[in-house]
Every structure is written in structure tokens, then in C-alpha cells.
């Protein structure tokens, strides 16, 4: 009987092999076969078939300059230039030091309005001593020369604060300029400035700066929850991209969702070496991929159209477009970007002033309420009470057996630091304004005028006119305006100090019940 021998070969793993480097490296032992399979599957025809390795671009810059040549936006933060108000050079230390130079001056001695009156803490010690700021403001009438102050006091520039609209608004004369373009701050509420803080006025025939040739190495875009590009790397399970619901009110969430589902991890970034305080433009760009091919924004097809549309801004849509001041003005080009030198993490003082504005529908008034004045809460300040007696003063008897008697009170609900504004229909120029009024305390037998506003926010630009507010400046829920000291550093490391006014919205409007011709139960 013949003998048959069958041989079988079986490939088995080596369970005791401890070297995992080859598996983790995932090396391709036949790159040519791999490229052939990519060509067969059509992967080389895709738009993002390869990774960019080098970027060359042409960058042009236009320096921004301020209307006042003493302030350079390339050195000083833009917030300090725009928000700086008149007399903010006069810190409390300077007011005290300069005031002491005039302690024995005959023109200043015993003049009450030139002395410190209830200075904020911790400067209570200087009560009744000369105030350098008040002496400086009244130096012409006092016959005091500028040289007697002993220091070179800078001349104040025009303030951009619009007291009628309670925000910062520049005019064409005080606007920033970049070459032949004017950049006007419009409706700035205080705080961080960015490209959207200004509108542009462009002029025809402006010179186009010569672009500078720059190069950069692109890197993959990384964000929380992004798809991982490495082998054996697990994404963060705590990040749920489905939790960012896209809707029309939240544009970034819609862009994020489209980014994830359309291009996944195929986005790349490259740095643009631009300097703050300039209007920068990427004039051209050329990308080199891993296969050595180049894609340039200047490449054209036979018809003269751009060959690579992905290297050009989209038509009809832009993210950082600076509009013009009027509908007829096109503003800056869509490829221009304004880079401000901003105050990064400035030091903030406690509020010097905090004033709230609200429309009172019941009283048909606009209330301006001083909450903080001169660094102190108004409720904690001592108020000199008038000597006149109140109507129906005393306490109720509390005896229900007695017949009720009633007393007449002309008015109720009038308190200090609540300042009313009424609508003035007859204003020059046809502009309706809410004009500041003064209340009289008719709850006393001798009517007493309520104290005038002390906050600088409630002072008029012109002393011969009362403060007025545009009706559209106050929303239904009301606003709050704060004044505070801000301290930052410029590009040279020098300190920059200014007073900022910041406008915020209130959650609910103000209201106070005013009653006139009241009959109330008589007190004993």
C-alpha cells in the first residue's frame, strides 16, 4: 500500500513577541503599489489629495495713525487713544502734589471751590487742602501762569465720548487714518477694540503699497474634539460635536459643524507675520504640496479666470469686512484686515462712577440713577438733611378704635440721586431729546431742591445747556455706564493710564413711583 504524506503550512502569530514598534509605525513596504492603488481609486484627483508643506505669500501693510500726532496706534493701545477723556492726566497723586505748591498762594488761600471737598478714599486726609486740578482749570481767572505749576502739563485732546448717545463716536476730524483711508470709531461701548469698532471712508486714487514677500510652514488645524491624525490615538470622549446645535443666531456653531463634516482634519494654518497697528492685506499666495506641485492665486486659465478658486476669498461673503460710513461708501476691501494694538489684560480700578438709565413707563420719565459717585456708594454717603419739616410727619397711632383722619401731602417718592429726563419736542434742528430736569421735594412744608447730578456721565458737553440724551440711546431694559481707571502697557513696556467709560445693558428697567396730591392717614 503506497504511503501518502501531506504537508500543510499555517501562518500563526507569535503571541510572545513583545516588540510592537513595527505595528505602531504602520510602515508601507511597497510605496509604489500604494501610490498605484491611490491612482486606481481616484484619490489623486481630489481637491485635498496632498498636504501643503510650504506657503509663500505677499503681504502689504498700511500703518494706522491717530488725529493727534502724540498718540501712535502702533505703540499705544487703541482703547487708550479712543477712550481717554479730558483731564484724565490728573491722577489723585498729581492733584495733591501740585496743589501743595499753592498752599500759601494769595489767589488760592481760603477759596472753597479750589479745595478738596469730600475726596474719595483713601484720600480723606486731604479734605480742605488745595486741589491742583481745580487750580489748573481756573488759572486764567486767578492770574496764575503755567510755569508756576512746576511740571509740563500736557494739552488735552478732544474726547470721543458722545454724551447724547452715551457711547464713543469719532468725527471725521478726529478719526484714524491709514494712507488715504479714514477709520472712524462708531458706537464703541467701551472695552476691547477690534476690526468691527470702526467704519471706513475710502478715497479714490490711494496708493497701493508694495507687498513684502514672506514664507511660512503650514500646520494642521487643531481644536477640541478634532479628528485624530495619528495611529492608535483616541479622540477626547468628553467633547460631543453633536452638542453644538447650529442655528441662525449662532453662526460659529454652524461653521464648526460644516468644518467637521465637510473637511474633517484637512484644514491647515500658516502664520502671517503682521504688525499690530496696521491694515494688512494678503495680496498673493502660493502653496507647495508634498508632491512638489505649486498652486498660486495668480494662476489663470485660458479665459483669464482664477485657476484655483480656493485661494481667493469667496464672492458675496466675508467675515472681517469693514463697512463704509454711508451706504454709498463701499468701505475697505474684503481682503483687508485691521489689526489694532489692544490693551491685553489691563488692570482695572473699582468704579469711580456707576450710573443707571431706565425708562419708567408709569411715571413717563427717563431716570438716571447715581449708584456710585467719586468711588463711593451713594447710599453710604452722608447727606445734609434739610431743616424744614415734612408734611404729615410722625407715626400712625395704631389704635383702630379712633376715627381715621387724613392729611394732604403734595408729593411722595422723591429722593436724592434720582434725576428725571423729560422729552423736549421743541429742539433746534428738529432733533427730539430727553432733557435733564431737577426735582423739588414737595413732601416738606418748604420745598427743597434735590441735589444736582455729581457724576461726570450726567454733565453736558456745554455748561450753558442741560444734559440731554437721544431717545434711541436707551433700550427698553435700560443701561448702566461705569467710569474707572485703566492701566496697561504700550509696545515699549511703558505704563498707559486712562479713564474708561463702559456701557452695559441692564436685566430690567428702573422704576420709581412718584405720587402727587396724596391723601394719606394722618400721623400723630
Give residues with Cβ within 8 angstroms of 345, minimum separation 6. none
Query: What are 316's three cell numbers?
Result: 458675496
CA distance 97 to 99: 5
The answer to whether residue 264 is domain-embedded is no
The answer to whether residue 372 is domain-embedded is yes
CA distance 114 to 131: 6
Per the document, the length of the chain is: 524
Helix, coil or strand: residue 56 = strand
Q: How many CA atoms lie within 13 A of 509 on its CB side?
A: 17
The answer to whether residue 319 is domain-embedded is no
First-to-final CA distance of the chain: 139
Contact in structure between 445 and 409 (CB atoms under 8 Å): no
For residue 337, the surrounding DSSP H or E stretch is strand 336-339
**Cα angle: 167, vertex 170, 174; to 5 degrees:** 150
Q: DSSP code of 470?
A: -
CA distance 440 to 384: 16
Contact in structure between 294 and 244 (CB atoms under 8 Å): no
Give me the pLDDT at residue 215, please. Answer: 94
CA distance 116 to 263: 66
CA distance 392 to 409: 7
The answer to whether residue 217 is domain-embedded is no
Domain that holds residue 461: 347-382+389-521
Cβ count within 10 A of residue 273? 11
CA distance 440 to 386: 12
How many folded domains does the chain comprise? Answer: 1
Query: What are 39's three cell numbers?
Result: 491612482
Q: Which residue has the cell 503682521?
A: 274
**Cα angle: 285, vertex 288, 293; to 5 degrees:** 120
**Cα angle: 503, vertex 506, 508; to 5 degrees:** 160
Per-residue model confidence as pLDDT tens digits over 125-147: 888 899 999 999 888 888 888 88
Contact in structure between 172 and 184 (CB atoms under 8 Å): yes
Q: Tell how far CA 444 is from the center of its chain.
A: 46
The answer to whether residue 253 is domain-embedded is no
Contact in structure between 503 and 479 (CB atoms under 8 Å): yes
The tens place of each residue's pLDDT in the chain, 524 residues long, gives 567 777 777 777 666 666 677 766 777 778 888 788 777 766 666 555 678 899 999 999 999 999 888 899 999 999 999 998 888 888 889 999 999 989 888 888 878 889 988 888 788 888 889 999 999 988 888 888 888 888 888 887 788 999 999 999 998 888 999 887 889 999 999 999 988 899 998 776 566 678 899 999 998 877 666 666 655 566 666 666 656 666 666 777 777 666 666 666 677 899 998 999 999 999 999 999 888 889 999 998 888 888 888 888 888 778 888 888 888 888 888 888 999 999 988 999 999 999 999 988 877 889 999 999 988 888 877 666 666 667 667 666 666 677 777 777 777 778 888 899 998 876 556 678 899 998 887 777 777 788 889 899 998 876 657 899 998 999 989 999 999 999 999 999 999 999 999 999 998 888 777 777 777 777 66
Give residues with Cβ within 8 angstroms of 501, minimum separation 6. 83, 85, 161, 168, 190, 457, 481, 482, 483
Nearest to 363, CA basis, from 512, 214, 154: 512
Sign of CA dihedral 186, 190, 193, 196: negative
Per-residue model confidence as pLDDT tens digits over 486-508: 999 999 999 999 999 999 999 88
Cis bond upstream, residue 122 (ω within 30): yes
Give me the pLDDT at residue 272, please. Answer: 92
Q: DSSP code of 141?
A: H
The answer to whether residue 29 is domain-embedded is no
CA distance 51 to 361: 63
The answer to whether residue 333 is domain-embedded is no
CA distance 121 to 114: 19
Sign of CA dihedral 517, 521, 522, 523: negative
The answer to whether residue 357 is domain-embedded is yes
Amino acid at each position: 500500500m503506497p504511503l501518502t504524506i501531506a504537508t500543510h503550512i499555517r501562518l500563526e502569530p507569535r503571541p510572545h513577541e513583545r516588540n510592537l514598534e513595527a505595528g505602531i509605525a504602520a510602515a508601507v513596504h511597497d510605496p509604489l503599489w500604494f501610490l498605484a492603488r491611490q491612482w486606481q481609486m481616484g484619490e489623486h484627483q481630489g481637491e485635498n489629495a496632498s498636504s501643503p508643506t510650504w506657503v509663500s505669500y505677499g503681504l502689504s501693510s498700511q500703518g494706522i495713525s491717530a488725529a493727534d500726532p502724540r498718540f501712535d496706534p502702533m505703540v499705544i493701545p487703541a482703547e487708550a487713544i479712543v477712550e481717554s477723556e479730558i483731564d484724565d492726566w490728573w491722577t489723585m497723586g498729581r492733584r495733591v502734589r501740585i496743589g501743595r505748591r499753592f498752599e500759601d498762594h494769595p489767589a488760592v488761600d481760603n477759596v472753597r471751590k479750589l479745595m478738596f471737598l469730600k475726596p474719595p478714599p483713601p484720600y480723606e486726609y486731604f479734605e480742605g487742602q488745595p486741589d491742583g486740578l481745580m487750580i489748573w482749570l481756573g488759572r486764567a481767572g486767578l492770574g496764575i501762569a503755567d510755569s508756576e505749576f512746576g511740571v509740563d502739563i500736557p494739552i488735552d485732546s478732544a474726547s470721543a465720548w458722545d454724551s447724547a448717545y452715551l457711547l464713543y463716536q469719532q468725527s471725521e476730524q478726529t478719526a484714524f487714518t491709514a494712507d488715504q483711508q479714514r477709520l472712524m470709531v462708531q458706537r464703541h461701548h467701551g472695552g476691547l477694540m477690534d476690526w468691527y469698532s470702526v467704519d471706513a471712508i475710502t478715497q479714490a486714487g490711494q496708493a497701493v503699497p508694495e507687498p513684502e514677500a514672506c514664507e511660512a510652514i503650514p500646520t494642521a488645524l487643531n481644536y477640541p474634539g478634532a479628528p485624530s491624525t495619528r495611529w492608535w490615538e483616541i479622540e477626547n470622549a468628553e467633547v460631543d460635536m453633536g452638542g453644538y446645535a447650529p442655528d441662525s443666531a449662532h453662526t460659529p456653531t454652524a461653521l464648526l459643524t460644516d468644518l467637521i463634516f465637510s473637511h474633517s482634519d484637512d484644514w491647515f494654518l500658516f502664520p502671517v507675520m503682521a504688525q499690530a497697528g496696521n491694515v494688512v492685506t494678503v495680496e498673493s499666495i502660493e502653496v507647495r504640496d508634498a508632491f512638489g506641485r505649486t498652486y498660486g492665486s495668480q494662476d489663470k486659465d485660458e479665459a483669464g479666470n482664477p485657476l484655483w478658486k480656493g485661494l481667493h476669498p469667496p464672492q458675496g461673503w466675508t467675515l472681517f469686512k469693514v463697512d463704509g460710513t454711508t451706504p454709498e461708501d463701499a468701505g475697505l476691501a474684503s481682503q483687508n484686515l485691521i489689526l489694532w494694538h489692544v490693551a491685553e489684560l489691563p488692570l482695572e480700578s473699582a468704579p469711580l462712577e456707576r450710573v443707571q438709565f431706565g425708562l419708567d413707563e408709569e411715571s413717563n420719565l427717563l431716570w438716571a440713577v447715581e449708584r456710585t459717585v467719586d468711588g463711593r456708594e451713594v447710599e453710604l454717603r452722608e447727606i445734609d438733611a434739610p431743616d424744614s419739616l415734612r408734611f404729615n410727619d410722625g407715626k400712625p397711632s395704631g389704635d383702630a378704635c379712633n376715627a381715621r383722619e387724613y392729611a394732604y401731602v403734595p408729593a411722595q417718592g422723591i429722593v436724592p440721586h434720582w434725576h428725571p429726563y423729560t422729552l423736549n419736542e421743541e429742539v433746534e434742528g428738529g432733533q427730539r431729546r430727553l432733557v435733564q430736569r431737577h426735582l423739588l421735594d414737595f413732601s416738606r412744608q418748604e420745598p427743597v431742591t434735590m441735589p444736582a447730578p455729581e457724576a461726570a456721565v450726567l454733565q453736558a458737553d456745554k455748561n450753558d445747556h442741560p444734559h440731554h440724551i437721544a431717545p434711541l440711546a436707551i433700550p427698553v431694559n435700560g443701561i448702566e455706564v461705569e467710569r474707572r481707571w485703566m492701566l496697561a502697557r504700550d509696545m515699549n513696556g511703558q505704563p498707559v493710564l486712562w479713564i474708561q467709560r463702559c456701557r452695559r445693558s441692564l436685566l430690567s428697567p428702573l422704576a420709581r413711583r412718584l405720587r402727587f396730591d396724596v391723601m394719606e392717614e394722618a400721623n400723630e
